[in-house]
Structure 1
Amino acid sequence: MFTIEHEFDATVITLVDEGDDPRDYLQEDITIASFEDCVTVEQVDDNDVVQRITFSHAQLRELAAALNLPEGVYRLKDVTKK
């Protein structure tokens, strides 16, 4: 399950781990916040400390592309430049 909320300065997506089986160990919620200049991914760890990773929008585009590619080295082409 996930939620999407549009806030003043960001779009916030929360991913809730519901598990496929009642015996599954469920992970803490993951919160993804998309700001004008970056995207943050947060999750609370086992010590109740929020762990945060910050991506530039370019890094996030590369991550999305990488999820569907085989092993190798790649550079995304900027289609906005002529």
Structure 2
Amino acid sequence: MFTIEHEFDATVVTLVDEPASHRQEDITINAFASCVTVEQLNPQTNRVEQVTFSMAQLRDLAAALDLPEGVYRLIPDDTPGQG
């Protein structure tokens, strides 16, 4: 299950782990114009852990989900000299 909320400066998506024997804490994704943050409560420390992705890193992650094992570099279609 997930929720989507549009705030002033970000779109916030919360991923809720459905009831299971090993349920994980909710994950909150904040999509800003320049970056995306992923947050999750660490129940051992009772602190929210945060990871920040640049837009390029997020683009690479999205591409990586559909590719086999290997090393890749994405080249934008509008790069000069690429045809």
Question: Same fold per TM (> 0.5)?
Answer: yes
Unaligned residue ranges in structure 1 (runs of 5+): none
1:73 aligned partner: 71
Deviation track 1:25-57 (CA, whole Å, cap 9, x = no partner) reads: 100000000001100000000221100000001
Structure-1 separation of matches of 2:23 and 2:77: 40
Structure-2 separation of matches of 1:60 and 1:3: 20
Three-state SS of the structure 2 residue aligned to 1:17 is coil
Equivalent residue pairs, number: 79
Shift of 1:80: 3.7
Unaligned residue ranges in structure 2 (runs of 5+): none
Three-state SS of the structure 2 residue aligned to 1:63 is helix
Give the TM-score normalised by the residue count of structure 1.
0.89
